[in-house]
Chains A and B, each alone.
Chain A
Amino acid sequence: MNAIDWITQVLEVVVAVAAAPAFLGWLNQCRAWLQNRRAPSLWLPYRNLHKLFHKEAVIAASASPLFRIAPYVVFGTMVVAAAIIPSMSTRLPLVGSADAIALVGLFAAARMFMTLAAMDVGTAFGTLGARREMMVGFLAEPALLMVIFVASQISSSTALPVITDHLASGHLGLSPGLAFSAVAFILVLLAENARIPVDNPATHLELTMIHEAMLLEYSARHLALMEWAAQLKLFNYACIGFALFLPWGVARAHIGPMGLAVAIPALAIKLAVAGAALALIETVSAKMRVMRIPEFLATAFLFAVLGLLVHVLLKA
């Protein structure tokens, strides 16, 4: 491992942490344009975080230490996840420490701390949000794993950079299995990041909220970290999507350090397009009733498993 790889690694994490709020800002901007509203500034999420970091934190008297630790754990997990997703280069020194399955586990750990913290104070809304989050989580996780299995079947490895490397090498053509799992992945992304058909991120609508309900008790720097972690999660999911389904432009082993000069603009373009596409999906679809969510995620699981089966069958 040489110095350039380490620089890339650090750069990747820094870019993920720094650009995540901007990605959300861009998504919100696109959504506002599509809905004929005046768009909020791209920098609004940053200002929001800045504001929250400068406020005084208020914590419920009944809160246990877990409640204080959770935001740091959740944010930390997301940063670690950002480090092992090959968004710019497939030669990352830290990537060997965890494969795609461990990545799903990281997300699960973050979810667990978040739900425990939400239930910790003992308010009704926190518990409600936590239970719904767990319902979404336990249905979305197998679908996400199946999506990853399709990609790892193709490249016979569960390590994300190897998968990306293999897919980016390009002699793959039309793969129905991969197309199915891409659809499944988009459904999982919407569910896991509390986007519109599953949850409405913009409002505190009492009876339908999932993600927001868990954050109600948080304030100031804790809330800022939680929100930042959510933005980072969305960014990470987008990058996983690029790594699995749009791997072009990522710097690969034999391209060398100059590859970064291509990889960074490529990432920016992909993020811009993905943000616009997500905004479009959110604009054309309506919020589902909570009871319909299992059906939605069963569809995602179905797509992923069909992708796996079709891939196995047609490869023969």
Chain B
Amino acid sequence: MTHLPLYQQLLDSCAALLLLLSFAMLSQRRVVALVNLYAVQGAVLAATTLLLAWRTGEDHLYVSAALTLALKVMLLPWLLHRLIRRLQVHRDTEPLLNVSGIMLVGLVIVVFAFSLAQPITRLASTATRSAIGIALAVVLLAFLMMITRRKAVSQVMGFLSMENGVLFGAMSASYGMPMIVELGIALDVLVAVLVLGVFFFQIRERFDSLDLHHLESLKEHQ
């Protein structure tokens, strides 16, 4: 066992925590708790970014951390909470698989992501390169969440969590994306949530429910 420096241990722990939070989101049925978990995930991501910024001395990472904190810990959860209150959705209907089943599928996905990331890890030279696999796993788990949920709000949560994973992946592979790209993504996510919020109301007005499987049939109900 080699001695790892403290910041490395902290980064590894943060990465592990992100993965754990992804699983928590995957198993959470209540929508309000889902939003809170998303906020916590954002906070861990911001802490990781801050740690990395301090470690590498890259200035744009400080901005990225501040952006993550403002957007993903405060603004988006607040918007989503408001949305949930107004839409009166509190819990998702039963997911397509039972929770234990989804967890096991999630484990298989994690194994897949880790083995997929191995060659990339060997090529990268960043301090966080071992976390690339975790970032990939977070993205794929968010995919899984979007696939297995029926309600629109939970699917959006999956989408947002996926964006967290992508950001974390970029960070661990190459210390973040260029500033302009990051700003663009942040704006995209914000607009997406606003637009989807309008969508929710439209969907509910049309079908009296946020269950997306109503959208599967193209024709009007006769």
Closest chain B residue, CB of each to CB of A296? B100
Cross-interface CB contact of B16 among A314, A315, A316, cutoff 8 Å:
A314
Using a CB-CB cutoff of 8 Å, which residues 166-185 of chain A contact chain B? 166, 171-177, 179-180
Task: With A295-B100, A298-B99, A306-B107 as known contacts, state yes or no: A173 contacts B16, CB within 8 Å.
Answer: no
A315 contacts which chain B residues (CB < 8 A)? 130
Asked if B158 is at the interface (CB within 8 A of a chain A CB), the reply is no
Report yes or no: A171 in contact with B3, Cβ–Cβ below 8 A.
yes
Report yes or no: A176 in contact with B17, Cβ–Cβ below 8 A.
yes
Asked if B10 is at the interface (CB within 8 A of a chain A CB), the reply is yes
Report yes or no: B16 in contact with A295, Cβ–Cβ below 8 A.
no
Using a CB-CB cutoff of 8 Å, which residues 141-158 of chain B contact chain A? none
Report yes or no: B16 in contact with A180, Cβ–Cβ below 8 A.
yes
Report yes or no: B3 in contact with A180, Cβ–Cβ below 8 A.
no
Say how far A110's CB is from chain B's closest CB, in angstroms. Answer: 26
Interface size class of A (residues with CB under 8 A): 20 to 34
Using a CB-CB cutoff of 8 Å, which residues 87-112 of chain B contact chain A? 99-100, 103-104, 106-107, 110-111
Asked if A154 is at the interface (CB within 8 A of a chain B CB), the reply is yes
A315 CA / B103 CA spacing, docked (Å): 24
A306 contacts which chain B residues (CB < 8 A)? 16, 19-20, 23, 107, 110
Report yes or no: A314 in contact with B130, Cβ–Cβ below 8 A.
yes
A309 contacts which chain B residues (CB < 8 A)? 107, 110-111, 114
A299 contacts which chain B residues (CB < 8 A)? 27, 103
Report yes or no: B133 in contact with A313, Cβ–Cβ below 8 A.
yes
A172 contacts which chain B residues (CB < 8 A)? 1
Nearest first, the 5 A-B pairs at minimum CB distance are A176-B16, A298-B100, A174-B9, A314-B12, A310-B16
Q: Add 20 more A-B contacts to A174-B9, A306-B110, A316-B118 (CB < 8 A).
A: A173-B4, A173-B6, A173-B9, A174-B12, A174-B13, A176-B13, A176-B16, A295-B99, A298-B99, A302-B23, A302-B106, A302-B107, A305-B107, A306-B19, A306-B20, A309-B110, A309-B111, A313-B114, A314-B15, A314-B16
